[in-house]
Chain A
Amino acid sequence: MIAKKFRYALLLGVLAVVVTSCEKEPSLSSLDDDYLVYTASDPAADFSLYETFYLPDSILLIGAGDRTTYWSDRDAQSLVSAVAENMERRNFVRVDDRAEADLGLQLSYVEQVTYFVGYDRPYWWWYYPYYWSPGYWGDWLGWHYPFPVYYGYTAGSLLTELLDLGSETGFTSKLPVLWDSFIAGVVSPNKRLDLQRALRAVDQSFEQSPELAR
């Protein structure tokens, strides 16, 4: 009797294993062949009201360490130039003086670490890394997205944020991000940056954001 019950228990157990392990996951190897571009902008923003922008000549590196590191070699300059040229094609004017700019652009490249970022209504943050300080741009407490965004940082991701430098300053004010571009999949199999792929991805981020123009 005990043996019979054991057989039925075993049968049920095996069936349970079958059912719970039954979803077939697709092979994802071919998905890493090219870039991913995610862009989001503040629906309330009227970009025709802005004229000038300031773009630092370095890209901030987000790595495993706490020390702030900037990337400014020839590859970095190519990426910075690509962003600037796309902005100028949209009739924005690049200026050399940060204080004169209506908009600020900050570029970050994720070198090693992985974060997941989520921001939704009601406002909720988690695992957000410290990188471009709001103090770099002026007298702001912090900065924020006035629209929902979701993305995951992984090694080889390029993040571009467009900031409204004309917004209200002060100890309690936050610097709003008007447009955001997240680019992933720009590293080659040997873990080095694929510059040509990254440049195409930068162009794509502007191409899929027609609202970003004046």
Chain B
Amino acid sequence: MKTFRILAAVLTVAALSVIRPAEAQIFRKMYLNVDWQYNMPVGMDFADRSSGWGMHFEGGYYLLPEVSVGAFLSYHTNLSTLDRQTLQLAPGESLTTAQKHSVFQLPFGVTGRYTFCRDRRIEPYVGLELGSSYARLSSYYHVVKHYTDTWGFYLQPELGMNLFPEPTRRFGLHFALYYGYGTNDGTLLVYRLDGLSSFGFRAGVSF
């Protein structure tokens, strides 16, 4: 609920800042997307439950009528619950406990898009995001949070579209499907992460 309240505040401020008609031309070559996202991990045992605990922010500038470059930042948390088990941490060292696992990803970097049908009510596009991927792997047990921080390279192709009820006002909806891959690797307790791979979709607003 807290996230949704913050999102509402972001949208309100963004709308006040960007959509005034007199300033519309200034931003004609720019775009801004603020999205909620649903993320489905692929091939990751550490925290394999899909979730909607994430958001995506992206802004760009059209260098050519159809080609834009920009920057993005997103974050997401995926969780899983593990029943009680005995972990062999090292020779002679063991831990028996139930756990909750969490993977928190925060990729950011540059983005490029090719947009079809610019300035129409529906603007489909293909995009590619490249950058750095920060991820924190956490294991919660008893009163303990055990975690490790990892970094990697991030790559994310994306298919999406903007829907503008009134194209001249540049205020509409945004939908996208993506596949994200981060080269993050790390170990925590007896678990090893070798890359972060996921599918997902986004829904939000576009300016």
Contacts and interface: CB of A to CB of B under 8 A. Distances in A.
- B and A form one assembly: yes
Given A8-B17, A26-B140, A33 B98 contact: yes
B142 A42 contact: no
A206 to B, nearest CB: 11
Given A18-B55, A23-B77, A211-B92, 6 more contacts: A14-B10, A22-B54, A31-B98, A35-B96, A37-B96, A154-B143
A203 to B, nearest CB: 11
Interface string B77-110: 1010100101000011111111110101010000
B93 to A, nearest CB: 4
A10 B91 CA distance: 54
A76 to B, nearest CB: 23
Contacts of B179: none
8 contacts: A14-B13, A24-B53, A25-B102, A28-B100, A31-B140, A204-B96, A208-B94, A209-B94
A43 to B, nearest CB: 5
**Contact-residue bracket for chain A:** 35 or more
Interface in A93-126: none
Contacts, number: 109
A37 B201 CA distance: 41
Nearest to B100: A26
B56 to A, nearest CB: 11
A39 B95 CA distance: 6
A152 B144 CA distance: 8
A130 B117 CA distance: 74
B205 to A, nearest CB: 13
Contacts of A27: 100
A50 interface: no
Contact of B141 (A19, A24, A31, A147): A31
Interface string A172-209: 00000000000011000000000000000000100011
A49 interface: no
Nearest to B101: A26
A182 to B, nearest CB: 9
A28 B144 CA distance: 10
Contacts of B64: none
Contact of B92 (A11, A24, A43, A154): A43
A23 B104 contact: yes
B16 A7 contact: yes
Contacts of B77: 22-24
A213 interface: no
A64 interface: no
A14 B93 CA distance: 46
Interface in A1-58: 4, 7-8, 10-11, 14-15, 17-19, 21-28, 30-43
Contact of A185 (B91, B92, B142): B142
A28 B141 CA distance: 8
Interface string B1-45: 011001101100110110000000000000000000000000000
